[in-house]
Structure 1
Amino acid sequence: MIFTYGDEFVYQPIQKRGYFDTIAQSTVFRFVGPKATKSRVPYVKAEQENLIYQPLEKPNGFRLLVLEPGEGSDRVSCRLVNVVVSWRTQYEALSYTWGDPAIIEEIICNGHKKHVTANLQVALRNLRFKDRPRILWVDALCINQDDLDERQSQVVMMDSIYSGARQVLIWLGEENNEVKGAFQVMKRLECSFKGLHRKRYISNRAPFLDSTLNTLFPTPLLGPDFEWEPVLALLRQPWFQRMWIIQEAILPKRATVICGQTVMPWYRFEKVLEGIQIYSSSVASTTNNDGIRQAIATGRLIMVARAGQHGRGLRTLMSRNEDSKMLDLLLDSRTFQCTNHRDRIYGFLGVAKDKDGHLQPDYRIGVEEVFRRFVIWDINRHGNLRVLSCSSSRSDSPYKLPSWVPDFANLDDVNSLMRYEKRVNFRASFGTTPRAEISTDGKVLTLGGMELDSVAAIGRTGKDELMFLSVANTRMGNSRLFMQSALFGRQKLKYHRWIIECMEMVKKMDCAQYGLPNEKYKMSEKRWDEFWRTMTCNHNYRALRAPSSHESGLRQYMELLEADSTRDEEYLLQRFPAAQAFERSMIVWAKNRRFCSTKSGRIGWVPRDTKENDLICVLYGGQVPYVLRPCEGGYKLVGECYIHGLMEGEAIEWPWQERKVLAREANFPIL
């Protein structure tokens, strides 16, 4: 509860949960008072002048909301109190969806009427206690949203504010008829998925035990009458698409999911989400709804980032190195929603492990400038060009950005080659550092590098011509039934035509280069090795080096696509596992890219906007090659590419005399 002594506010924390909290409340906090602050504007004067917000005059100061007790239809009433970051300041943080700003409700704050979104009003109504105040941090109320300076200073403090909360309350909304009973169903799923989690844990560390694990940890098949709908409706809630939830759910040590009056600890909630994902991919399909996939992806992102934030040991080190950098979070949250697109960058300052003092929020500058500054910051901060691997559609963007600055509010649905930089084996520039210069007007980025090749021919994109629905989304248990279905018949025809088209591009290139007649062409062993590795960018779906089994996987995949549905079941199922593994890897890397051949006889994958005669270049500091398009005054960046034979520093290692013939070293002014 809050006591007021003149113009000074004293905060008495609510009881925490857990042994440490109980001990702390009965010992330390009985003798050590909370950290309170004074304002130059006395409380009585603030009331007289109709001031809801008192100035935050301490460098580490922020406000807390005292939610007064109430129940039922009682009007929501609260007070704001100035405090400072301190171990003595205890509170809970609220994570919720703001909702439609046009739909507002009235509450009482510091004795005055204040309008808030209907979502917040409903959340406060449900979260208040009946018999005592509840102390919360709520962004929309605790920050004076009309004060630009305060907003910027509070964004910088987000990590301290959320980290200092005893827990975060994740408010998903009221418990309507659609989601009623969802938590009870999730508890049943938690029990059903226990063997599934054990099997996945062991399988990730010892894949050769897969067949044995199916016997040791059988997963019960949930029947067609299983009550999926309440869970699926819960996962369609807007909270899972909100960008700010990432740091809100990651930073506090504890998190609780709340829907109406029912609650579930986050660690159990995320375990069920992970179980649904594993079950859908390996046992039986649940749904293909985009909203559900978004919720599952959100849960995984938060789970991995929380492991890096609060975990221990090797898992923490891996998370911090590979999943919690600014760019990683940007790529993983590309489908999330936020009102102010500056927050695509600023929303991660509290959780990104690579943040520093050179990247500070500034809401006075335009969105284009925020994005541009971030690209420059990332290049300087990490000494590489990984940020240039982000791609976005220029035709759909409302912003006028240089070609080297992606529209981070509208990133393409494509897996960046450099998303898992610690796993992939790409080092096209062989450890060189960027030779980067920015023009005085900040619009031109000049990079040093080498022009190595140019695009000769381009194929179709996976997104436009393929649905990516066939073998990879099928289970072994019903593979025979699926491969006899009309859906598989249509899909395998599309896949077959597409892969044959890629092979024909190789054939046409080789025949022209070596003067061979088309009817006598047979892909050489060396070219076949290049082809199957290129189809998966020489990596599997986990971004690790492609196993040699992918070579036979492609052969068996082609056999499946060509197979007559009347072939015996043993013939089909013998080829299914290797074909499935190959296709799963191909989908990860080929999606939204175009197969290409180059004028020097190479093959690879290029961005979907690539055109014939575009240049293939290795830029110093870049771990992958890039496609550049000459234009008046310089070049335009088209995007990253995979060109087999240029991915491991081969061009940099060429002898100098050979390099002079095969590559042209230059500075590239990228507009």
Structure 2
Amino acid sequence: MATMKVMSGYSYKKLGPGEIRLMTLLPGDDPDLLSFSIWHTSIKHARQLPASEATSMMRQVQNSLPAGWTVKETLSGRKLFMRMGYSGTPITWTHPDPAAQPDGWQDNTVKPVTCPEPSYEALSYVWGAPSDIEPANVIELGSSPAKPFIRSSIGASLAIALRHLRYTDRSRTLWVDAICINQNDVLERNLQVKRMGEIYSSAARVLVWLGAQADGSEYALRTLDYFSQQVEYTTDESIGDAPMAKEPRWWDAEYALPYDQAIWDSLVSLFRRPWFSRVWVLQEALLAHEGTVICGAEQIPWYSLRKAMVVLAEKLGLPAALFALLGSYRMGLLNRGMWSLPRLLLWGTFRQCTDPRDKVYGILSLLSTRMASAIVVDYALPVEHVYMHTLMSHVEMTGRLHLLRHCHLEDRAPNSPSWVPNFAVTKQSFFGFRKGHNRQPSGHTATDAFCKQPGVLEASGLLCATVNAVQDLPRGDLETAFAAAQSFSAAQMLADSYVAGGSMLTALSEVITKGRLCDRYPNIQPFPKRADISQGLAAVLNGAAKMEDTFSYFKEEFRLENSFLCSTKEGYLGISEARPLKDDCVCVLLGCDYPILLRPTGSGEYLVVGQIFVHGLMDGESLLGSLPPDWEIRMLPGGDGREVTCFFNATDSALTRQDPRLPEMPPEWNRLKRDRVQDDPFFHQDYQNRDSGEIINFDPRVGVAALTSRGEPASAADMIDQAQEKLRERLAQQFEKAERVCAGHGDIVRFSWG
């Protein structure tokens, strides 16, 4: 939240404990000067139903259904009943059992009940330039004797919104951040920012002000509203037609929408409005009990806009500009279970804010209470300290190093360690955040990272490969990118096999698509099959096909992101958005969901360069070895409908959740199933020690204790039988002993192997 002196003539009274300010916007006609009063009140926050209770309620609903039926929940919390595999009644809002109580099944478990008194509306808008102001009157109501008004000033952008929202015949109670928070009081700002979630979720309604009507905005909103009525999106990320949809195929990613160029242009113009470019406004809208999107005289429900954006973002053949706008926004609009800190910070890299601290503070209310409480709001802290504290808070709470994926050496902040992400940088690249990027290169591990001294991060991991050649794949189009890739790897593509198995052509297919293929993700229909991609690549090499046809699903990404293809001395192929250099190391860190490029400094120290996708290192191969013959990984719906990692044996069609590379669980450890949590949404398994009662969120078979013995790594020697002796020897070679390095400066990642 930026600092702006918006009430130059008004003297704020100090807020009491638990108080907020509200404003009463007085009636008036359009030319009249804006007049309002400011007053203090307390609100009783109507908290949301706990996730465990909401999950339990959904299970009860599922158990009440007849055989063959299932229930899913939409982003708005409404229950959608489906008879799987039956086309007669594919989807309905009505419980199939006539004896069921419909009101009970359709209780909204996602949004809290609004605060009854005082009833107010909260405004979500863009502040505009600090120097662009307009006069206004502040009136103290109910005073005796009556006091004269106070002439003040507010931002011109806010004045336009308030003039549009002002009634002509009655007053309107609003909460507006620029007026209801004393922006010149840093201590008050710190406290009120922590209460944003409470304020917006307790409002009777959140008003999303996009601005005045222009550039076909009325047609854009009507188009989005109608599209939203035809489709549904559920919390397990399923997309389908809405009950009684008039256009039953519009949900299909491959179905072309009947929009002319004018409609596409109006949609692009709408999503280019400043509201969609700002960090703060997302939580304001997502936390709304009820939201209304207003653009000039046109308005639609917030939920309609949100759903339309999520589903449209998956459509093939979108105009490139619209793909970029929707693709970067989509991850912020998903269900609450996906509002993890790494995902929201990644969403924020495409957004803007005046104060760079707000890249973190502006999403706090969307985090779990536990995570949000761990991050201190203090606008007096240096920006780099806020970012470092955020990363370490996430590490300490989750045992994951996922935020290292945000690091980019070329973008690091001055005087900041290379392992601290610079969230202030606004990205344009789509690398590694669309569907299909939930990989586990380090398996179900937890990090042991810590800061032994200021600015120095120590962690455990494997140095798996060394870069020996790099090729820039320039943004623009697939043909240009592939021409660069072909000139780089033509000799390699003629090789008989790839170091991790399969052909070089298949490996290149995996790298270019970043592993997003239908073979692995059978439920994501737009993803192509591995065989089709490989055959298409062969046809392109022979001049019989175009890259745009072979990689149609990915073509917009290649137009928007610059990336780098690299090979390693060991024979691996990889692709990165950060520029690798010869002799950079590919490292798999425990507890990190992507391999990381590290740059040796020559004295045992490393700089973090950025994330990299390396085929053959994305599924725990560095720790566990390759999958046995005939085994492959498939991402399939779990008990809650979301994708989980499964292992499929092509020989006997066996399907299991247990990794065939791991031995049996030690008898002292017991698996605990848990519901997905915001802080760690991609792991759903905890483990409890029967003897001590300790509960951990990583697999004890791949923990640091199991991988390290007497200062030398061993892959859980007491748990591996003779058939895995070869694997243990291989791990011992890779886990070379290393002394702890005492660094003289802080821009490094150090490895502690005992």
Same fold by TM-score greater than 0.5: yes
Is 1:77 the equivalent of 2:35?
yes
2:401 maps to: 385
Which one of the candidate residues 402, 409, 414 is aligned to 1:399? Answer: 414
1:294 and 1:524 map into 2 onto residues whose CA distance is: 35
2:250 and 2:133 map into 1 onto residues whose CA distance is: 56
- C-alpha spacing 1:383/1:251, structure 2 compared with 1 (3 Å): same
2:310 and 2:228 map into 1 onto residues whose CA distance is: 9
Structure 2: which amino acid aligns with 1:236?
R
Is 1:352 the equivalent of 2:323?
no
1:269 maps to: 305
Is 1:129 the equivalent of 2:167?
yes
Q: Secondary structure at the match of 1:357?
A: helix
2:534 maps to: 554
Q: Secondary structure at the match of 1:146?
A: coil
Is 1:602 the equivalent of 2:572?
yes
Deviates more, 1:656-665 or 1:64-73: 656-665
Structure 1: which amino acid aligns with 2:534?
L
2:123 maps to: 94
Structure 1: which amino acid aligns with 2:451?
I
Q: Give the C-alpha shift of residue 54 in structure 1.
A: 1.6
Is 1:540 the equivalent of 2:517?
yes
2:310 and 2:730 map into 1 onto residues whose CA distance is: 52
1:239 and 1:63 map into 2 onto residues whose CA distance is: 24
1:452 and 1:67 map into 2 onto residues whose CA distance is: 63
Q: Secondary structure at the match of 2:366?
A: coil
Q: Secondary structure at the match of 2:442?
A: coil
2:381 and 2:491 map into 1 onto residues whose CA distance is: 48
Matches within 5 A, 1:97-116: 97-110=126-139, 111-116=149-154
Which one of the candidate residues 138, 147, 155 is aligned to 1:117? Answer: 155
* 8 Å Cα contact 2:22-2:173 kept in structure 1: yes
2:343 maps to: 328
Which one of the candidate residues 282, 287, 294 is aligned to 1:258? Answer: 294
- C-alpha spacing 1:625/1:495, structure 2 compared with 1 (3 Å): closer
Deviation sequence 1:284-330 (CA, Å, 0-9, x none): x5x443xx5565347645542xx43xxxxxxxxxxx1xx31122111
Q: Give the C-alpha shift of residue 605 in structure 1.
A: 2.3
Is 1:504 the equivalent of 2:490?
yes
2:458 and 2:238 map into 1 onto residues whose CA distance is: 46
Q: Secondary structure at the match of 2:594?
A: coil
2:520 and 2:130 map into 1 onto residues whose CA distance is: 41
Deviates more, 1:262-271 or 1:542-551: 542-551
Q: Give the C-alpha shift of residue 539 in structure 1.
A: 2.5
Matches within 5 A, 1:272-287: 272-273=308-309, 277=313, 281-282=316-317, 285=318, 287=319
Structure 1: which amino acid aligns with 2:284?
E
* 8 Å Cα contact 1:535-1:586 kept in structure 2: no
- C-alpha spacing 1:352/1:542, structure 2 compared with 1 (3 Å): farther
Structure 1: which amino acid aligns with 2:296?
G
- C-alpha spacing 1:425/1:332, structure 2 compared with 1 (3 Å): closer
Is 1:644 the equivalent of 2:615?
yes
Q: Give the C-alpha shift of residue 163 in structure 1.
A: 0.5
TM-score (norm 1): 0.71
Structure 2: which amino acid aligns with 1:555?
Q
Structure 1: which amino acid aligns with 2:185?
D
Matches within 5 A, 1:338-487: 338-353=353-368, 355-392=371-408, 394=410, 399-410=414-425, 412-415=427-430, 417=432, 424=437, 426-440=439-453, 442-461=454-473, 465-468=474-477
Q: Give the C-alpha shift of residue 257 in structure 1.
A: 1.4
2:458 and 2:598 map into 1 onto residues whose CA distance is: 12
Is 1:246 the equivalent of 2:275?
no
- C-alpha spacing 1:297/1:424, structure 2 compared with 1 (3 Å): closer
Q: Secondary structure at the match of 1:338?
A: coil
Structure 2: which amino acid aligns with 1:328?
R
- C-alpha spacing 1:334/1:425, structure 2 compared with 1 (3 Å): closer
Structure 2: which amino acid aligns with 1:90?
S
- C-alpha spacing 1:227/1:294, structure 2 compared with 1 (3 Å): closer
TM-score (norm 2): 0.64
Is 1:187 the equivalent of 2:222?
yes
2:488 and 2:298 map into 1 onto residues whose CA distance is: 54
Which one of the candidate residues 11, 14, 17 is aligned to 1:52? Answer: 11
Deviates more, 1:365-374 or 1:606-615: 606-615
2:616 and 2:237 map into 1 onto residues whose CA distance is: 35
Q: Give the C-alpha shift of residue 637 in structure 1.
A: 1.0
Q: Secondary structure at the match of 1:55?
A: coil
* 8 Å Cα contact 1:76-1:107 kept in structure 2: yes
1:136 and 1:216 map into 2 onto residues whose CA distance is: 37
- C-alpha spacing 1:592/1:147, structure 2 compared with 1 (3 Å): same
* 8 Å Cα contact 1:451-1:664 kept in structure 2: no
Q: Give the C-alpha shift of residue 246 in structure 1.
A: 0.5
1:616 maps to: 586
Q: Secondary structure at the match of 2:188?
A: helix
Deviation sequence 1:609-642 (CA, Å, 0-9, x none): 2110112222222233222111155211112222
Q: Give the C-alpha shift of residue 223 in structure 1.
A: 6.6
Deviation sequence 1:81-103 (CA, Å, 0-9, x none): 11112232210000111001111
* 8 Å Cα contact 2:123-2:176 kept in structure 1: yes
Structure 2: which amino acid aligns with 1:534?
V
Structure 1: which amino acid aligns with 2:126?
T
- C-alpha spacing 1:124/1:466, structure 2 compared with 1 (3 Å): closer
Deviation sequence 1:584-624 (CA, Å, 0-9, x none): 29958995432222112222224532110112222222233
Task: List alignment gaps of at least 5 residues for structure 2.
Answer: 1-8, 45-114, 140-148, 242-246, 626-726, 750-754
- C-alpha spacing 1:608/1:588, structure 2 compared with 1 (3 Å): same
1:489 maps to: none
2:519 and 2:558 map into 1 onto residues whose CA distance is: 9
2:219 and 2:260 map into 1 onto residues whose CA distance is: 18
Structure 2: which amino acid aligns with 1:383?
G
Is 1:296 the equivalent of 2:330?
no
* 8 Å Cα contact 1:240-1:294 kept in structure 2: no
Q: Give the C-alpha shift of residue 375 in structure 1.
A: 1.1
Q: Secondary structure at the match of 1:355?
A: helix
* 8 Å Cα contact 2:496-2:503 kept in structure 1: no
Which one of the candidate residues 563, 570, 574 is aligned to 1:593? Answer: 563
- C-alpha spacing 1:661/1:227, structure 2 compared with 1 (3 Å): closer
Q: Secondary structure at the match of 1:664?
A: coil
Q: Secondary structure at the match of 1:105?
A: strand
* 8 Å Cα contact 1:393-1:412 kept in structure 2: no
Deviation sequence 1:478-500 (CA, Å, 0-9, x none): xxxxxxxxxxxxxx3x2442342
Q: Give the C-alpha shift of residue 250 in structure 1.
A: 0.7
Which one of the candidate residues 150, 154, 158 is aligned to 2:196? Answer: 158
Q: Give the C-alpha shift of residue 419 in structure 1.
A: 7.1
2:211 maps to: 173
* 8 Å Cα contact 2:418-2:609 kept in structure 1: yes
Pairwise CA RMSD of aligned residues?
Answer: 4.0
Q: Give the C-alpha shift of residue 225 in structure 1.
A: 7.1
Q: Give the C-alpha shift of residue 152 in structure 1.
A: 0.4
* 8 Å Cα contact 1:172-1:259 kept in structure 2: yes
How many residue pairs are counted as aligned between the two chains?
Answer: 543
Q: Secondary structure at the match of 1:240?
A: helix
Structure 2: which amino acid aligns with 1:530?
A
